[in-house]
Amino acid sequence: MQVTVETTQGLERRVKVQVPEDRVQGEVSKRLTNIAQSARLPGFRPGKAPMKVIAQRYGKQVREEVVGEIVQSSFQDAIAQESLRPAGTPTIDPLEWETGGGVAYTAVFDVYPEVSLPPIDSLKIARPEAVVADADLERMLERLRTQRRNWEPVQRAATPGDRVVIDFEGVCDGDARDDLKSEGFAVELGKQQLFKEFEDGLLGTEAGQELSLELHFPSDFRAGELAGKPVSFQVKVNTVEEPVVPEIDDEFAASFGVKDGGIEQLKSEVRANMQRELEEGIRSATKQRVMEALLAGRDLELPESLVKREVDRSAAQRRLELSHSGVDTSEIELDPKDFEEASKRRVSLGLLVGELIKENGIKADPDEIRARIDGIASTYEDPGEVVRWYYSDPSRLSDVESSVLEDTVVAWILERAEVVSESTSFDELLNPGQTQGS
């Protein structure tokens, strides 16, 4: 077998492989001999047909099968011989495999780059530290109180924080569209359920009022074909309602299923939940900072095939999210460039983490994998069935293994890097940008 390698551009390689005819013919002859031993052909007893007849009947099909298998095996032999690490599925150029001429083909693919890791002990990582303070608990109780609010009609003009229930019809480009029409639509003013210009037009309205709104859709409107266009809405205000929140008392606690201990028991349970949420938030933030430190200053040459695959995956995920939120995605064009930067970052991190794992022999502990699965299973009615479900399918188990391995890498880095504490608060960590009173 002859192998030649050409570097075209960047990480792309063109590998030409030539396999001699004797290797092909040897395998074809062996298979035809096996077929001849049991073949049933008209005019011949089973297994007694001449080899010439067998070759005429089965030769073309057998050769095609052999060539396909040789391409697969010879490609693996070629990349091993040349110490190449393909980063994606190769593109095989049209084959040359005329009878008597052996097999020749060209495989084009990206290879993984050389990855240089920073000295781990030189990394400086700020790990956030916070507690669940009494003020955090009080703010959380206020949020729970808001979630339990009722709405009562009022006979006054609508103000921010009120809810207005409206019927509306929209006309854009001269068309009255069904997707710009609704009855009994409840809008909480200030929550950006509708675009801002529309909601601003509802401020100061009263029950029974009818009005026309001449507006423009925002330039980033989710229905892309409407973005930036003028639109005319006819609106009828059915009711204006104000929120009425419950008192924080034993009855309030009972509404959350607290049967004994009243409000003090509710506070205890809420604080415990907040503590678990805080611990998870600290782990997540620390992991993010570890990855940022690992990536800082690294300018890796990335295989285009890996970046494209990640861009495609991100775009598909975004389309799924839009679909789940009720957006018709059939006519939405997602620009791959919008996903490119984040995709390159994820590919870079994947290469760095992969190199770290390889260089240091880091592995996921089977006991930790089982503990992770047990934790997931404990939330189901039949935990044992869930555990069996994971261990019965290597792909499902692999997802958990990857998660545990990533956490193992983070812990390994934290043990060796310079870690400093960074004081923060519950809301700063878990609700960035949220006002203190919300």
Mean of pLDDT over the chain: 91
Q: How confident is the model at residue 287 (pLDDT cuts 50, 70, 90)?
A: very high
Residue ranges of domains in the chain: 2-110, 120-131+262-430, 150-244
Q: What is the tens place of the pLDDT at every residue in 367-401?
A: 999 999 999 999 899 999 999 999 999 989 998 99
Q: Given this model, what pLDDT does residue 435 score?
A: 46
Q: How confident is the model at residue 278 (pLDDT cuts 50, 70, 90)?
A: very high
Q: Given this model, what pLDDT does residue 433 score?
A: 67
Whether 153 has a pLDDT exceeding 60, the answer reads yes
Q: Given this model, what pLDDT does residue 437 score?
A: 41
Q: What is the tens place of the pLDDT at every residue in 396-430?
A: 999 899 999 999 999 999 999 999 999 999 999 99
Specify the range with the lowest mean pLDDT, choosing from 83-87, 126-130, 217-221. 217-221
Q: Given this model, what pLDDT does residue 221 score?
A: 81
Q: How confident is the model at residue 436 (pLDDT cuts 50, 70, 90)?
A: very low
CATH top-level class for 120-131+262-430?
mainly alpha
Q: Given this model, what pLDDT does residue 97 score?
A: 66
2-110 has CATH 3.30.70.1050 classification: yes
Q: What is the tens place of the pLDDT at every residue in 156-198?
A: 999 999 999 999 999 998 888 888 999 999 999 998 888 889 9
What 3 state SS string does the chain have?
CEEEEEECCCCEEEEEEEECHHHHHHHHHHHHHHHHCCCCCCCCCCCCCCHHHHHHHHHHHHHHHHHHHHHHHHHHHHHHHCCCCECCCCEECCCECCCCCCEEEEEEEEECCCCCCCCHHHCEEEEEECCCCHHHHHHHHHHHHHHCCEEEECCCCCCCCCEEEEEEEEEECCEEEEEEEEEEEEEECCCCCCCHHHHHHHCCCCCCCEEEEEEECCCCCCCHHHCCCEEEEEEEEEEEEEEECCCCCHHHHHCCCCCCCHHHHHHHHHHHHHHHHHHHHHHHHHHHHHHHHHHCCCCCCCCHHHHHHHHHHHHHHHHHHHHHCCCCCCCCCCCCHHHHHHHHHHHHHHHHHHHHHHHHCCCCCHHHHHHHHHHHHCCCCCHHHHHHHHHCCHHHHHHHHHHHHHHHHHHHHHHHCEEEEEECCHHHHHCCCCCCCC
Whether 259 has a pLDDT exceeding 90, the answer reads no
Whether 61 has a pLDDT exceeding 70, the answer reads yes
Q: How confident is the model at residue 131 (pLDDT cuts 50, 70, 90)?
A: very high
Q: Which fold has domain 150-244?
A: Chitinase A; domain 3 (3.10.50)
Q: What is the tens place of the pLDDT at every residue in 73-125?
A: 999 999 999 999 999 889 998 777 666 778 899 999 999 999 999 999 999 99
